[in-house]
Amino acid sequence: MTPTIRTVLGDLDPAELGATDSHDHLFIRSPLLPGEELDDPAAAEVVLRAFAAAGGRSFVQWTPYGMGRGADSLARLSRVTGVHVVAATGLHQAAHYDPDTLPALYDGLSERFIAELTTGLTAEPATEPPGPPGPPAAPEAPASPEAVRAGLIKVACDPGTTTAHTRRVMAAAADAHHATGAPIAVHLEPRAHPHLVLNRLHVRHGVPPHRIILGHLTRLPDVRVHRELAAEGVYFALDSPSRAGHPADHQAFDVIADLVEAGHASRLLLGADTTTRTARRADGPTELLNDLVPRLARTFGPELSGLFLTANPAAAFATDWRTP
């Protein structure tokens, strides 16, 4: 069987992936970021059209279940813009969910992840709209009439000690990986230790390291840790452009240089990780192509920048899909 990348419009030959924003968001909402919701399909279309005009071919959205993924818009947006879009299942940290509805989500969690990877994204819990009370809101994302399948599982680690929530979510993500082959993308916290993620997903739950993609690499500017994880086969997403100004982002080129020097250039992916309306003003996906990639090419040569932008994501997201 030939590995494919599971997009919202179907399974794609990795050779067709092209220039890829490997970690980003067209739609996302969290109670932690009130007023910063990315929830407008027209705005998402503007982002994708600009990305396509700059030469972008594929866009991987890391928004998990229950955070307003735009499930009913992704297929249309991909079709009208010509950009391949990969959607995610999974769950983020507990703080991003309504504490009243979260416990119910734990029932059948791995089954939900598997269904979203193999059958289609499912409806998310309704959210209360801001503003004066009106008639009850309809469920936010009705199960799409068009089956839109997820192509990866998004999870997150904790800033401190691993919580019961994270233990459940990572166990379910590993189950879903074993059932389907799907890659697992992980949100890292600045004070977290990525070895805890590898211990849990790989050592405890048997997920191969090359099926794990760690986001926010520059939040952990310890090159020894990067080298150890890269040697295990883990992928890293360098996802700075929409977060310009984060102190660690200034170290991104040093981090890349060290990994390249250590022979791990094949482990690096690039993303813009736009999570708020404020960040969207930075045009992350387009700047990735118009600013970051040319600078990478000048520093490391066009071959390596092409590896980070195109060949590495084609390998990281391609899967021998299984249906349990």
Comparing CB distances to Zn ion, the nearer of 236 and 300 is 236
Q: How far is the CB of 37 from Zn ion (least distance, A)?
A: 14
Q: Choose between 62 and 236: whose C-beta lies nearer to Zn ion.
A: 62
| DSSP per position, 121-186 | PPPPPP-PPSSS--SPPPPSSPPPSS---EEEEEEE--SSSPPHHHHHHHHHHHHHHHHH---EEE
Task: CB nearer to Zn ion: give 60 or 121.
Answer: 60
Of the pair 273, 287, the CB lying nearest Zn ion is at: 273
Instruction: Give the x-and-dash track for 265-294 against Zn ion (CB under 5 A).
Output: --------x---------------------
Q: How far is the CB of 188 from Zn ion (least distance, A)?
A: 10
The span from the CA of 125 to the CA of 225, in Å, is 38
DSSP 94-125: GGGS-TTTHHHHTTTHHHHHHHHHHT-PPPPP
Distance of closest approach, residue 23 Cβ to Zn ion, in angstroms = 6
In the complex, the smallest distance separating the C-beta of residue 219 from Zn ion, rounded to whole angstroms, is 12
C-beta closer to Zn ion: residue 17 or 26: 26
- Rounded CA-CA distance 121/133 in Å is 29
Name residues contacting Zn ion, limited to 114-173 (CB under 5 A): none
Structure tokens at 256: 């890349």
For the record, the structure tokens of 190 come out as 């600045």
The pair of three-digit structure tokens given for residue 229, joined into one six-digit string: 């994880």
Minimum separation from the CB atom of position 78 to Zn ion (A): 19
Which positions from 51 through 110 interact with Zn ion, judged by CB under 5 A?
62
| Residue 169 to residue 36: CA distance in whole angstroms | 25
* Residue ranges binding Zn ion (CB under 5 A): 62, 273
